[in-house]
Amino acid sequence: MSMGWQEKISDLGCGELLAGASLAARTTLRVGGDAQALLLLEQADGLGAVLGICQAAGVPWRFLGAGSNVLVTDGILPGLTIATGRLRQVTVTGSVLQAAAGATLIGAISAGHKAGLVGMEWAGGIPATVGGAVVMNAGANGGSIADHLIEALVVSPNEPGRWLAAKDLAYGYRHSSLQDGRDGVLAARFWLERGDLTAAQGRLAEVLAHRRRTQPQGKNAGSMFKNPPEASAGQLIEAAGGKGHQIGGVRISDLHANFFLNLGAGTAQDVLALIEWAKRQVAKTSGQELELEVRVWRADD
């Protein structure tokens, strides 16, 4: 009998392959089912071959960073989920900071500070990996990843990976062309400035304090919806009477109506029902159509 795709991937030796691993445990909303197969990627070199095996076998795949922008539904998520969290190296050369996909944003900011480089303090408190932030064009406080990214190392099936310039990634508000395809980001290079470190650390502390005042703690995925042009999704949901609305174990935050909180026993069904409820209420009260920012991964139930 010929080898199955999981065995072939395992034989590549580029990471730990787990069967039936919980994705609820690996996403900040803490809901949803298990990955049919989860690869904890350790060797960046092998990724092109991994994707090639999946492609040849007709198996779907996707990438998981810190899981802070993903809603996984209940059941088994088919195919391969590739977690980048073990690829964390950050290096600084001159004014360029290079970070592996699984490095945390705050880790990258701190590594920059250690080398005397500043500029990305606006991102303080975004619980992302570098890969997830590059794909989502994470942004806050007037800054966004696209403003700093020089290039990203992008891998397709059976390819070693190529550096793509930021201008070729179709960046927009919470958008990049990397969201459309099946390609993986292995690393990114950012342009930072040599600046006043004390001022930068003060700014970072301010940004973090502002978040603590304006956003809830706990199990959530940050902003559930994108802001429509010239409007705030949170304000629209609040105006529609959404604050504090609860379905099952999931509640719209009283502090910020674009944050949906899993109170503990919440399920993916509860989150989906609350999403539909919020969309309906906002459409009714303001005529605006809300678009999800969070990525939904549909498992087979």
Tell me if 53 sits within 8 A of 9, measured CB to CB.
yes
* Catalytic residue chosen out of the listed positions 174, 182, 295, 298: 174
The reply to whether 128 sits near ligand FAD by the rule CB under 6 A is: yes
The reply to whether 36 sits near ligand FAD by the rule CB under 6 A is: no
Bridge partners (DSSP) listed for residue 154: 162, 185
Type of residue found at 10 = S
| Catalytic-residue membership of 174 | yes
Q: Least distance from C-beta 134 to ligand FAD, angstroms?
A: 7
The reply to whether 221 sits near ligand FAD by the rule CB under 6 A is: yes
Q: Which two three-digit tokens encode residue 16? A: 């730990």
The reply to whether 267 sits near ligand FAD by the rule CB under 6 A is: no
The reply to whether 152 sits near ligand FAD by the rule CB under 6 A is: no
| Catalytic-residue membership of 88 | no
| Catalytic-residue membership of 223 | yes
- From candidates 15, 32, 33, 67, binder to ligand FAD by CB under 6 A: 67
Q: E strands of the chain, at which residues?
A: 15-22, 34-41, 61-64, 70-72, 76-83, 90-93, 96-100, 117-118, 139-140, 143-144, 149-155, 162-165, 184-191, 193-194, 246-247, 250-252, 260-262, 295-297
- From candidates 68, 258, 267, 281, binder to ligand FAD by CB under 6 A: 68
Of 181, 183, 176, nearest to 158 by C-alpha is: 183
The reply to whether 62 sits near ligand FAD by the rule CB under 6 A is: yes
Residue 38: CB partners within 8 Å, gap ≥ 6? Answer: 17, 18, 19, 21, 23, 64, 80, 81, 82, 83
* Catalytic residue chosen out of the listed positions 144, 176, 223, 253: 223
The reply to whether 100 sits near ligand FAD by the rule CB under 6 A is: no
The reply to whether 140 sits near ligand FAD by the rule CB under 6 A is: yes
Residues numbered 227 to 266 that lie near ligand FAD (CB under 6 A) are none
The reply to whether 296 sits near ligand FAD by the rule CB under 6 A is: no
Please state, in angstroms and rounded to a whole number, the distance separating the CA atoms of residues 241 and 286.
12
The reply to whether 157 sits near ligand FAD by the rule CB under 6 A is: no
Bridge partners (DSSP) listed for residue 189: 98, 151
* Catalytic residue chosen out of the listed positions 121, 151, 238, 293: 293
Pairing of strands 76-83, 90-93: unpaired
Give the DSSP letter of residue 226.
P
Q: Catalytic residue positions?
A: 174, 223, 293
Which residues contact ligand FAD (rule: CB under 6 A)?
28, 62-70, 84, 101, 126-129, 131-133, 135-136, 138-140, 178, 184-185, 220-222, 295
